[in-house]
């Protein structure tokens, strides 16, 4: 009897201690001036399922405090599948003989914008490989034409590493935002994922340039990329904490046919969702998308990401004939629906979890 009583007490004490430790981690995550590596490590690798559940719920609440139950939408236009780079993970890499190549011309891009605008979108995202034909000047001309027609809409670019003057030219032409994931903050891991011709310092230079030029900047990493360790993710999170991006996009790594990583394992959805929640708590006002990679690996991935703290979705507005050719990884989610129908499907999905499509520009608010 006495023994039982003793055991119960020790059990309770243990739980209490674990709860205190967890509360302390959350406190440091949400309010600490800097999150130490050991705190990130514990949050990424040492939580039990109950704690992970609590974390997701908290992240959802924080997201709702800032964004309500609205999810911002951005019209994603994939402007080229040509790329001069040879990143080991990406299906668009120049060395991929299986890749199908296309590039949209100015009229096609403008037509996508017209369609997206007619559906109510207030942000256009132009994303593509680093196509040597789509020079800074060429893209600047397209951006200027979009800006001319749509003075009040947001223009986001995601066209890779460029020179300082290139970024400047694009900014002056009217681009407001730029997405450039850092991919990994660890130099050794970066060289495992990229060819020798690319280096982490140039990536960092690009991100610094973009911030200095007044773009709203998006960065992020793949989750579960080959040879990624917990320590690498800790470094990623500490890098983001320093960079303070306005947008943070993460998604699971997914193998792509014809690349050196074709036979590698895909990243984990649960780990991606946990990281979305951690990011939401650390960056309460950040624009965090439920990425296509999440919905590719998991049928209700969009809903799960939103419930974990994401607040942006980027429906694909690339013309249907080209959509399959922008194949950065295998089985990339592309429902083959016309744009309007796609938006309806998204609206239904969000409705199912009590959320709705928010068409506002959705800028980062200080
Ligand atoms: N050329 C642009 C756009 C690249 S595609 C750029 O460099 O920014 C956008 C993102 O898709 C990349 O930043 C990368 O994080 C992600 N991506 C590429 N290949 C992937 C893969 N195999 N699995 C998951 N995500 C991938």
Indicate the CATH number for domain 60-358. Answer: 3.20.20.70
Tell me which of 75-79, 220-224, 290-294, 320-324 is least confident.
320-324
pLDDT at residue 7, rounded to an integer: 60
Q: Measured between alpha carbons, how far is 315 from 290 in angstroms, rounded to an integer?
A: 10
Query: Which residue, 138, 202, 211, is CA-closest to 178?
Result: 211
pLDDT above 70 (res 5): no
Look up tokens 């340039």; give the residue: 209
Q: Is the CB of 193 under 6 A from ligand 1?
A: no
Rounded to whole angstroms, the Cα distance separating 130 from 236 reads 24
Sheet holding 70-73, edge to edge: 312-313, 70-73, 356-358
State the Cα–Cα distance between residues 106 and 173, nearest whole angstrom.
15
Give pLDDT, residue 58: 97
Average pLDDT score over residue span 254-267 = 98
Other CB atoms within a 10 A radius of the CB of residue 103 amount to 17
Query: From the CA of 364, how far away is ligand 1's center (Å)?
Result: 23
**pLDDT over threshold 90, residue 8:** no
Ligand 1: residue of 222, 258, 263, 267 to mutate (most ligand atoms within 8 A of CB) is: 222
pLDDT of residue 16: 79
Distance 90 CA to ligand 1 centre (A): 6
Alpha-carbon span 51 to 22, nearest angstrom: 8
CB under 8 Å, gap of 24 or more: what pairs does 137-144 form?
A: 137/169, 139/170, 139/173, 140/169, 140/170, 140/172, 140/173, 141/106, 141/173, 142/106, 142/109, 142/110, 143/170, 143/173, 143/174, 143/175, 144/173, 144/174
- Return the closest-CA partner of residue 78 out of 66, 90, 60, 96: 90
Expressed in angstroms and rounded, the spacing between residue 250 Cα and the centre of ligand 1 is 10
**C-beta of residue 309 within 8 angstroms of C-beta of residue 277:** yes
> What is the rounded distance in angstroms from the CA atom of residue 199 to the CA atom of residue 182?
11
Which of the 8 DSSP states describes residue 329?
Answer: S
Q: What is the DSSP string of 181-243?
A: --B-S-HHHHHHHS-TT--HHHHHHHHHHHHHTT-EEEE-BEES-TT--HHHHHHHHHHHHHH
pLDDT at residue 3 greater than cutoff 60: no
pLDDT per residue as tens digits for the range 112-155: 999 999 999 999 999 999 999 999 999 999 999 999 999 999 99
Band of the pLDDT at 239, cuts 50, 70, 90?
very high
Residue 329 CB less than 6 A away from ligand 1: yes
336 versus 75: which is more confidently predicted?
Answer: 75
Round to whole Å and give the CA distance between 274 and 281.
11
Pocket of ligand 1 contains residue 279 by CB under 6 Å: no
Q: What is the mean pLDDT of residues 230-235?
A: 98
pLDDT in tens, 168-188: 999 999 999 999 999 999 999
For the entire predicted model, the pTM comes to 0.96
Task: Answer whether 254 contacts ligand 1 (Cβ < 6 A).
Answer: yes
Q: How far apart are alpha carbons 33 and 146 in whole angstroms?
A: 40
3-state secondary structure at position 87: coil
* Distance from C-alpha of 344 to C-alpha of 339, rounded to nearest angstrom: 9
Crossing angle for the helix pair 230-243 and 37-45, to the nearest 10 degrees = 130
**How far away, in angstroms, is 218 Cα from ligand 1 center?**
13
- Give residue 206 CA to ligand 1 midpoint distance, Å: 16
Question: Percent of the chain at pLDDT above 70?
Answer: 97
Domain boundaries, the chain: 60-358
- Distance from the CA of 328 to the center of ligand 1, in angstroms? 7
Residue nearest to atom 13 of ligand 1 (CA): 181
What is the per-residue pLDDT for 18? 81
List pLDDT tens digits, range 27-38: 999 999 999 999
């Amino acid at each position: 009897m006495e023994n039982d009583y003793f055991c119960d007490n020790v059990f309770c004490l243990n739980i209490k201690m674990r709860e205190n430790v967890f509360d302390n981690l959350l406190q440091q995550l949400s309010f600490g001036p800097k999150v130490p590596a050991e705190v990130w490590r514990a949050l990424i690798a040492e939580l039990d399922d109950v704690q992970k559940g609590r974390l997701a719920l908290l992240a959802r609440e924080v997201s709702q405090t800032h964004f309500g139950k609205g999810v911002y939408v951005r019209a994603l236009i994939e402007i080229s599948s040509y790329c001069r780079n040879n990143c080991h993970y990406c299906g668009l890499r120049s060395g991929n003989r299986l890749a199908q190549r296309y590039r949209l011309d100015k009229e096609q891009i403008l037509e996508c914008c017209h369609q997206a605008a007619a559906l109510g979108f207030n942000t256009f995202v132009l994303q593509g490989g680093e196509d040597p034909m789509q020079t800074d000047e060429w893209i600047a001309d397209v951006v200027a034409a979009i800006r001319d027609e749509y003075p009040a809409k947001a223009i986001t670019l995601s066209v890779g590493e460029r020179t300082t003057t290139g970024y400047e030219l694009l900014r002056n032409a009217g681009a407001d935002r730029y997405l450039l994931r850092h991919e990994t903050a660890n130099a050794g891991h970066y060289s495992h994922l990229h060819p020798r011709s690319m280096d982490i310092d140039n990536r960092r230079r690009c991100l610094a340039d973009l911030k200095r030029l007044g773009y709203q900047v998006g960065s992020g990493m793949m989750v579960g990329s080959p040879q990624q360790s917990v320590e690498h993710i800790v470094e990623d999170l500490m890098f983001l904490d320093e960079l303070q991006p306005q947008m943070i996009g993460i998604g699971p790594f997914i193998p792509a046919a014809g690349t050196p990583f074709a036979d590698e394992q895909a990243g984990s959805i649960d780990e991606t969702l946990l990281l979305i929640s951690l990011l939401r708590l650390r960056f309460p006002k950040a624009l965090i998308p439920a990425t296509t990679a999440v919905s590719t690996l998991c049928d209700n991935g969009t809903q799960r990401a939103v419930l974990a703290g994401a607040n942006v979705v980027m429906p694909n507005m690339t013309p249907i004939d080209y959509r399959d050719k922008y194949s950065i990884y295998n089985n990339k989610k592309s429902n083959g629906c016309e744009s309007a129908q796609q938006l309806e499907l998204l609206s239904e999905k969000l409705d199912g979890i009590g959320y709705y499509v928010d068409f506002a520009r959705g800028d980062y608010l200080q």
